[in-house]
Amino acid sequence: MCILLLGLWGCLTEPDCFDTSTNLVTFAFYDADDELVEVEIDSLTISGVEGILIPEDTIVSAISLPVNPTETQVAFTFYFGAVAETISFNYRLQTEVVSKNCGALAYITDLILVDTSFENVTLLNNKLATNAGTNVKIIVE
């Protein structure tokens, strides 16, 4: 029993090497009553990515889309039938050294809303991470 406790203590004193970095921005769609709603996205485009993308699921309440870590800005265009809505961001890559054993991890941070044609957008979390939840809240009518 004593050996087990010492083993657990050793794990608890080591730095956390769990990598939560991601290059995905998570968008969630809400109605005016602040209820999560489903929208139909026919297709979308992402600046720096050639062509029109069609989501695997076209009816979504949330969607995660990639940004290029070697760039500092991105624009997304969502096509809802004949209606196109665009949203663009600036961001930066931040490297954090966790420990000598874990090394450095790169995070995309400081996500800033630059421009949008959506009527109501709220930036909820400006750091992209697997445990960050929703980054961008979009109110749709």
Give me the residue label for tokens 């096509």: 79
Q: What is the rounded distance in angstroms from the CA atom of residue 139 to the CA atom of residue 141?
A: 7
pLDDT band at 76 (very low <50, low <70, confident <90, very high): very high
- pLDDT tens digits, 47-69: 999 999 999 999 999 999 999 99
Judge whether residue 14 has pLDDT over 90.
Answer: no
* Residue 79 pLDDT: 98
Question: How high is the mean pLDDT of the chain?
Answer: 88
Q: What is the rounded distance in angstroms from the CA atom of residue 25 to the CA atom of residue 128?
A: 6
- pLDDT tens digits, 81-135: 999 999 999 999 998 887 788 888 889 999 999 999 999 999 999 999 999 899 9
Q: What is the rounded distance in angstroms from the CA atom of residue 132 to the CA atom of residue 136?
A: 11
Domain boundaries, the chain: 16-139
